[in-house]
Structure 1
Amino acid sequence: MKDEILNSINIKQTKKVVIVAMTGRMLMDFVGPADVFTTASIFLQESGLNDGYDVQIASPTSNKKVTTGAGMEILCPISAIDIKSPIDTLIISNYEFREKAADPFEPFYKWLGKRTDKNTRRIASVCAGAFALAKAGLIDKRKVTTHWNLNEKLKQSYPQINVDTNLFFAKDGHIYTSGGVSSGIDMALAMVEEDFGKELAIRVARELVVYLYRPGYQSQFGSLLPSYETSGLSQKLRNWVLEHLHEILDVRRIADHLNMSTRNFTRVFHKQTGMPPAKYVEKIRVEQARKLLEDTDQSLEQIAEICGLGGLSTMRRTFLRLLMTTPSDYRRAFRTPLSDIGLDELYPLDNLNYSGAE
């Protein structure tokens, strides 16, 4: 390990990492990456090779306080806006969405907008932190990611940005963005691997009991269907489609159910949802298949039939195209573990609703 690390670093240089803890309910958004870098530093210092990283948690405001959604108030040693020196890695954790007459974060966004690849080697975000980078004008025309639940909001707020929420984290030049919560750990481990080699990154991952690379494809698994207006056609159709998933649901049959002409229904539906009716039905089929894979012991063949996804091979191709994983791999990753630990009788799966819908 020693020779590999020596070949990949400047022995005398400690890398300054500043993690800005914005207001948010997920402490792991900033604590997770901090643990990755500090753990890497411990191993490097023990080996006598390098001091590794100088990790600093900074507030975005001058009072150095961060009030989290978890009810904790954190007093940071520094304020980001007071930093004038170069930074190796700058990570923005989360974002403040609430509109205020006098935004206390404006000085921070102004400071952030002056951070370039000339004074900061890497600029990154965790979860909603991508909105802070966008507000500061740092990710125009770049490929970025954010938490899957914020995908549409980021696209609508900043149409000049190329948003891809299929990724745990994305890199475009010196800009890095990650999905949410644990995705920040994935991104930080990738940075450690870039800086000091794979062996150190593996050692850190083992210490934190996380994957260096998650099994299967590096993809988030958010809902395939964004939220729509309750009065729209998609919401009116959802329950009916779920009741008839095992049947043939072509455009004509759906239009007849709504007492609309096929042409008018297709036009209105596409305008409201941004997708053709057939694509909407396919995504509902996959969403229901995901729920059955998570919550039941039904075979893959049974789930394919129940959800109208054809045979097993057809369902597999559809999962690969939409989720970049197979049904069997998805089940292994997300299967509800209650039965595995003998709690299925106390907590029947039929009483659980993981989707939050209906």
Structure 2
Amino acid sequence: MIGVLVFPDFQLLDASGPISVFEIASRIAGRPASIRVLAEVPGGVRSSSGVELLARGLRSAGTLSTLIVAGGEGVIAASRSAKILAFVRAAQRRGVRIASVCSGAYILAEAGLLDGRRATTHWRRTPHFLSTYPKVKLESDRIFVRDGEIWSSAGISAGIDLALAMVTEDFGEEVSRQTARQLVLYDRRSGGQSQFSSLLELKAPTGRFGPLLSWAREHLDAPLTVEHLAERAGMSSRHFTRAFVAETGTTPFKAVERLRIEVARQRVQSSSEAIERVAHSTGFRDPERMRRAFIRAFGQPPQSLRRAARAG
């Protein structure tokens, strides 16, 4: 049985997205779907959109195989509920596969399930999450992360990606592909793909480091070390790194790599330029280094992305 935990002011798609994935996958696989919406207080639970879901109480959860925790505007209040935290901890002790969607990671973190584990959450929550839960190994640019039997996903629609990955584990790749087609998903994203196309989307251009990031994007063939960036920002390297992480939720090194990956991806997919030349001009220098970066970000090397773009 799959349980979906909601609370007042949850994000509707955090719950309905995974529910639809598992419902369709179960039908394709020829197995009856067993999905239950759960809440601390049974009855109608109002989402942030005003739409309600009818939920059962936590004691009626039954024997769960998977527990998916939604996020949303009400997540901070929910993460302070002793009953919800006890329920999540008990599920982990029983060996239940547990996942969070979007800011639902706050509930898992508050329950201690993410201590020492890799996880992700919505990019807008990243700076606050990092400061609140320093024991969590947050990977802020991931669509979803799996660390053992604990899964977490990025903002809202990423819960669908996470659920499809679980379907692959439960029913196999073919059922997962058919489910994605039924949902009219053009291209199912891998867990390693960036939450958004460019780091510059993380903050408005008027943000503290906006001009610096814009400049870095135009000078990707430069070294762009921390020392180089700090000097341009007029800060010491240590102060620059702390301030950059606090504002953007990622390190300068990862930020530069993501800018390089995005520009390189655009050139790989839209031109016939040699891979080696793309690697050199975007600052990777070595094509093998760029290949490894692409695999981390997109789950496939540059040549595969180019072939897919041409086929599309």
Q: TM-score, normalised by structure 1?
A: 0.62
| 1:93 aligns with one of 47, 61, 70 | 70
Q: Which residue of 2 aligns with 1:55?
A: 35
Q: Which residue of 2 aligns with 1:348?
A: none
Q: Which residue of 2 aligns with 1:134?
A: 109
Deviations along 1:163-192, whole A, 9 cap, x unmatched?
A: 234544333333222233443233323333
Q: Which residue of 2 aligns with 1:164?
A: 139
2:51 aligned with 1:73: yes
Q: Could you tell me how far apart the structure 2 residues matched to 1:283 and 1:104 are?
A: 34
1:195 and 1:326, CA in 2 relative to 1: closer, same or farther beyond 3 A? closer
Q: Could you tell me how far apart the structure 1 residues matched to 2:232 and 2:133 are?
A: 37
Q: Please state how far the C-alpha of 1:270 moved relative to its aligned partner.
A: 3.1
Q: Which residue of 2 aligns with 1:34?
A: 19
Query: Matched residues, percent identical?
Result: 28
2:159 aligned with 1:184: yes
Matched-pair contact (CA < 8 Å) for 2:85–2:110: no
| 2:192 aligns with one of 212, 219, 227 | 219
Residue 81 of structure 1 aligns with an amino acid whose one-letter code is L
What is the number of residues matched between the two proteins? Answer: 301
Q: TM-score, normalised by structure 2?
A: 0.69
1:65 and 1:186, CA in 2 relative to 1: closer, same or farther beyond 3 A? same
Q: Could you tell me how far apart the structure 1 residues matched to 2:135 and 2:119 are?
A: 11
Q: Could you tell me how far apart the structure 1 residues matched to 2:224 and 2:212 are?
A: 12
2:96 aligned with 1:121: yes
Q: Could you tell me how far apart the structure 2 residues matched to 1:173 and 1:257 are?
A: 41
RMSD: 4.6
Q: Which residue of 1 aligns with 2:3?
A: 18
Residue 38 of structure 2 aligns with an amino acid whose one-letter code is A
Matched-pair contact (CA < 8 Å) for 1:17–1:89: yes
Matched-pair contact (CA < 8 Å) for 1:61–1:108: no
* 5+ residue gaps, structure 2: none
Larger Rg: 1
Deviations along 1:79-126, whole A, 9 cap, x unmatched?
A: 4434353322211111445767xx796255244344334546222111
2:60 aligned with 1:83: yes
Q: Could you tell me how far apart the structure 1 residues matched to 2:110 and 2:34 are?
A: 27
Q: Could you tell me how far apart the structure 2 residues matched to 1:122 and 1:183 are?
A: 17
2:294 aligned with 1:320: yes
Q: Please state how far the C-alpha of 1:150 moved relative to its aligned partner.
A: 3.5
Q: Tell me, what secondary structure is at the counterpart of 1:42?
A: helix
Q: Could you tell me how far apart the structure 1 residues matched to 2:230 and 2:96 are?
A: 55
Q: Could you tell me how far apart the structure 1 residues matched to 2:290 and 2:36 are?
A: 45
Q: Could you tell me how far apart the structure 2 residues matched to 1:83 and 1:90 are?
A: 13
**Structure with the larger helix share:** 2
* 5+ residue gaps, structure 1: 1-15, 341-358
Matched-pair contact (CA < 8 Å) for 1:127–1:180: yes
Q: Which residue of 1 aligns with 2:244?
A: 273
Q: Could you tell me how far apart the structure 1 residues matched to 2:34 and 2:255 are?
A: 51
| 2:212 aligns with one of 214, 220, 237 | 237
Residue 147 of structure 2 aligns with an amino acid whose one-letter code is D
Deviations along 1:9-55, whole A, 9 cap, x unmatched?
A: xxxxxxx2111234344x3322221112222333455xxxx5x3311
Q: Could you tell me how far apart the structure 1 residues matched to 2:103 and 2:57 are?
A: 18
1:86 and 1:34, CA in 2 relative to 1: closer, same or farther beyond 3 A? same
1:154 and 1:229, CA in 2 relative to 1: closer, same or farther beyond 3 A? farther
Matched-pair contact (CA < 8 Å) for 2:126–2:140: yes
